[in-house]
């Protein structure tokens, strides 16, 4: 029996200088270990309609240069779809913007991080609750992850469990119920992707009196973060035909 595919909800594309390496959907497929025919990609940023959630093992929401609090119509439509999907039991995994959008969809608050930009290979610390989580249990504490963002989940949705944090971001990962996860970091980024993003943000970093060259030199691989994404795929497939009607 052919496994059900995953829906990848594209909310944006990589910075222009990194698009030669493919789309966010491509990076996620590779990092998650998914074949092309194991995914369906929908570009909601450009107005493509989301399908019925029936027949999908789960949905993964990409990052974006957009901002959730701007409440673009396409973003709000996607939030509505995600809210219904979460309540129906469809496994969800949000990355960066996707993390924030799932939090917003479920009643959380998203806004500018008062510390400013987080960028580069960062250290993520686990809360005790992570040890009982199917995606985070047994990870190194702390573990390395790639990150680039200006906004954060300021207040998780009611009933959510915060799984990970660091000095910059109090909610680097959360789980809502038994089916929805959000991670502020980028498990799909390789070290090369991260260095490319730092180069693309050179001028902005300089304005913030930060040295992009030094930041790029501190980038290193983050296999534990990628492991979380692959665990989501395995967990969602293991749920089989979850109730999504």
Q: 115 φ, ψ to 5°?
A: -80, -20
Reduce the DSSP state of residue 209 to 3 states and report it.
coil
**Structure-token match 């207040």, residue found:** 155
Query: In the chain, how many H helices and how many E strands?
Result: 7, 11
The set of catalytic residues is 96, 186, 188
Query: Among candidates 33, 229, 27, 71, which has minimal Cα distance to 145?
Result: 229
Distance set, CA 126 to CA 12, 86, 139, 227, 234 (Å): 28, 24, 8, 15, 21
Locus of tokens 């998203």: 110
CB–CB of 102/180 below 8 Å?
yes
């Amino acid at each position: 029996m052919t496994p059900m595919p995953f829906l990848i909800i594209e909310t944006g594309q990589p910075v222009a200088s990194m698009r030669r390496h493919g789309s966010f959907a491509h990076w996620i497929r590779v990092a998650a270990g998914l074949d092309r025919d194991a995914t369906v990609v929908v570009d909601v940023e450009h107005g493509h309609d989301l399908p019925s959630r029936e027949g999908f093992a789960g949905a993964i929401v990409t990052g974006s240069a957009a901002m959730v609090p701007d409440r673009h119509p396409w973003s709000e439509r996607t939030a509505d779809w995600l809210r219904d999907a979460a309540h129906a039991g469809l496994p969800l995994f949000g990355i960066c913007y996707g993390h924030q959008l799932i939090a917003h969809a479920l009643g959380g608050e998203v806004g500018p991080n008062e510390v400013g930009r987080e960028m580069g290979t960062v250290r993520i610390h686990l809360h005790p609750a992570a040890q009982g989580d199917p995606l985070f249990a047994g990870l190194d504490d702390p573990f390395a992850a790639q990150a680039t963002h200006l906004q954060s989940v300021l207040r998780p949705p009611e009933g959510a469990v915060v799984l990970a944090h660091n000095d910059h971001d109090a909610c680097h990962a959360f789980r809502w119920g038994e089916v929805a996860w959000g991670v502020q970091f980028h498990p799909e980024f390789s070290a090369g992707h991260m260095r490319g993003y730092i180069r693309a943000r050179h001028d902005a970093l300089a304005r913030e009196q930060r040295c992009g060259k030094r930041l790029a030199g501190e980038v290193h691989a983050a296999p534990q973060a990628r492991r979380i994404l692959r665990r989501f795929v395995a967990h969602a497939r293991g749920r089989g035909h979850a109730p999504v009607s």
